[in-house]
Amino acid sequence: MKIECTIDGKHLLLTVNSNKPLNLILADELETPLLTIRCRDGSCGNCVVLLNDEAVLSCLIPAFRLKGARVLTFEGYQKTRFWHDLERAYEDTGSHPCPHCYASKTLIFESLLQMIVKSESGASRDEEPDEETIVREIGLNKCPCLDAHEMLDIFKAAATYRRRRRVRRY
C-alpha cells in the first residue's frame, strides 16, 4: 500500500503493508533512534508520537491511518520552538520524567498544550484540559516516575510559557 504522509515535517510516500504498526514503520523506514519498538500492545507507552497533534501509541496505529496525516516524533519535536517551553517547565518545577519515558511524556505534554492553543484560537470548542484530563493523558505512558502533582505542576508551568509565546506573536 502506498501512503502519503508527513513525518517530522517531511512529505513522504511510503510503500508498506497497510497493517504494519507506525512504530515499526518509523524504525524500519526512517530509522528513528529513540523510539521503543519492543512492545506491540501499548503496555509501556514509550512509543508515543503526535499524530495530527494528538498523542498516540505508535505501536497501535496501523499504516492505513497515516494517509494524509502529520506525524511528529520526539526527534522532530526537539527541532521546534515549542520544545523549549517544556524544557523550561521541567527546570522550573524540578521534576523530570525518567530517561526511559522522557520522550513519550514530553510529547504527551505537548499534545495537551496544543489543546490550549486550539481553545484560545477558537479552532476548538473544547476548553483547556482539566486536571483529570492531564493525569489521564499522561497515563498513556505507564512509567510511575512522576506523580499526579508533579505532572500538573509541569503542565501549568509549560502552559504559562506557551501563553507568553502566543502573546508575543500578536
- pLDDT tens-digit map of 144-164: 999 999 999 999 999 999 988
Cβ-Cβ contacts under 8 Å for 19 (sequence gap 6 or more) = 62, 63, 64
Q: Sheet of 48-51: strands edge to edge?
A: 10-15, 2-7, 70-72, 48-51, 54-57
In the prediction, which pLDDT does 170 show? 45
Cα 8 to Cα 67, 80, 137, distances in angstroms: 15, 10, 22
Higher-confidence residue of 121 and 65: namely 65
Per-residue pLDDT, averaged over 5-9, amounts to: 95
Per-residue pLDDT, averaged over 74-103, amounts to: 95
pTM of the model: 0.90
Domain ranges of the chain: 2-76, 83-169
pLDDT one-digit tens code per residue, 15-47? 999 999 999 999 887 776 656 556 667 888 889
In the prediction, which pLDDT does 38 show? 64
CATH number of 2-76: 3.10.20.30
Answer whether residue 59 shows pLDDT above 60.
yes
